[in-house]
Structure 1
Amino acid sequence: MTDEAPPPQVWPSVPARDALGLIQFLVTAFGFEETAVYATNDRVEHAELAWPLGGGIMLGSAKDDPDDAWSRQPGTFGAYVVTDDPDALYARAVGAGAKVLRELADTDYGSRDFIVADPEGNRWSFGTYRGAPRKASTLSG
C-alpha cells in the first residue's frame, strides 16, 4: 500500500510489571521488532518496538509514584494493529501463549481479525482493516 502520509508520530505507551518479559512476548508472539531498550537490571526506563507495517509502541516498567503524571496501571492498554496475514499471526500469537479473547473471524465490514491478551492483560486486536481513507487536505498540511 503506497501512502503519502508522513511517518507515524503517535506512539502508544504501555506500562508493564515485567517490561523485559513483555518485550520478549511482543517480539515472539506478535512480531514486533525491538529497536531500543534502555534498562538497568530488570527496570526498563524506555523501550521502543516497531511494527513491521509501520508505527510502533513505547513501553517501560510501571512506576508506583502518585506524583508521576504519566503513571498508569499495567494491563490496561489496548490497541488495534493492522496485519496483512491475520491467520499466520493468530497461529503465532496462540502458539506463544496469548490468551484468546475473540477468535479469528471475518467481520461484516470486510476485515479478518482477532483479539488476544498479553501476559500483562493488555488487549491486542489484529486485523486487515486499514481505516478510512484520509482526506487529501490532511496529507498536505
Structure 2
Amino acid sequence: MTNSNPTVWLTLQASDAPALIDYYVDTFGFVVAARYGEGNTVDHAQLNWPEGRGGIMLGSHRPGNTWSRQPGTAGGYVVTTDPDALYERVTQRKADIVRPLAKTDYGAREFAVRDPEGNLWSFGDYTGELAAG
C-alpha cells in the first residue's frame, strides 16, 4: 500500500521563526498546518506546499541541542506547476532573487531566491527522473 503522506521533509532552524513562517506563507505561498510554542519561540511548525505532498518543518534555533543547525545554511528545491506565476508573486513581494527565471539545460523553468535568514530556495517545474530498474 502506498502512503500518500510526504516521507521527506526539509527541516530548518531560524533566528526569528515567526517572521520566517510569515515570509514563507506570504512570499512563497506555503500553508501553515501546525505551529507549537509560545510568543516568539516556535518549538515546531509544519508548512505544507499547496501544490504537492511536501513541506517544511521549522523551529526556533536552539544552540547546543543535538539537532541544532546554524540558521540560514539550508537549500531546497520546490516543484511548482507554474513557475512563471510564482516568480511574479515573489518579485512583487521584493524577494531577494539570486537566479532569475530561466530555462535550464535539462529543460526545466526555474528561479532561485534567498530568504531573509539566508537559506536558498529554487522553484521550478522539474519533477525529477524515474528511478532506474
For the criterion TM > 0.5, the same-fold answer is yes
Match of 1:95 in 2: 92
Post-superposition CA distance 1:113-137 (Å, at most 9, x none): 000011111100000000001357x
Query: Residue 107 of structure 1 aligns with which residue?
Result: 104
TM-score of the pair, normalised by structure 2: 0.92
Give me the whole-angstrom Cα distance separating, in 2, the residues matched to 1:17 and 1:133: 37
How many positions carry a matched residue from both structures?
131
Aligned letter for 2:88? A
Task: Kindly name which structure, 1 or 2, has the bigger radius of gyration based on alpha carbons.
Answer: 1
1:18 and 1:95 map into 2 onto residues whose CA distance is 23
Q: Deviations over 1:2-41 (max 9, x none)?
A: xx67432111111001101000100111111100000211
Q: Identity of paired residues, percent?
A: 52
* Counterparts of 1:7 and 1:46, CA distance in 2: 18
Unaligned stretches of 5+ residues in structure 2: none
Query: After the TM superposition, which segments of 4 or more aligned residues of structure 1 sit over 2 Å from their partners?
Result: 4-7
Cα 1:96–1:60 shift into 2, 3 Å:
same
Q: Which residue of 1 aligns with 2:62?
A: 63
Residue in 2 aligned with 1:83? Answer: 80
1:92, 1:47 → 2: CA distance?
Answer: 23
- For the pair 1:128 / 2:132, whether they are aligned, the reply is no
Instruction: State the SS of the aligned residue for 1:40.
Output: coil
Contact preservation (8 Å) 2:81, 2:125: yes
Question: Gapped runs of 5+ residues in structure 1?
Answer: 137-141
User: What RMSD in Å do the two structures reach over aligned CA positions?
Assistant: 1.5
Tell me if 1:117 matches 2:114: yes
CA distance in 2, matches of 1:86, 1:70: 33
Task: Describe the superposition over 1:85-132 as per-residue Cα deviations: whole angstroms up to 9, x where unpaired.
Answer: 111111111222320100100112110000001111110000000000
Match of 1:29 in 2: 27
Listed as ranges, the matches of 1:31-50 within 5 Å are 31-50=29-48
Once residues 39 and 97 of structure 1 are traced to their aligned partners in structure 2, the CA distance between those partners, rounded to angstroms, is 29
TM-score, normalising length from structure 1? 0.87
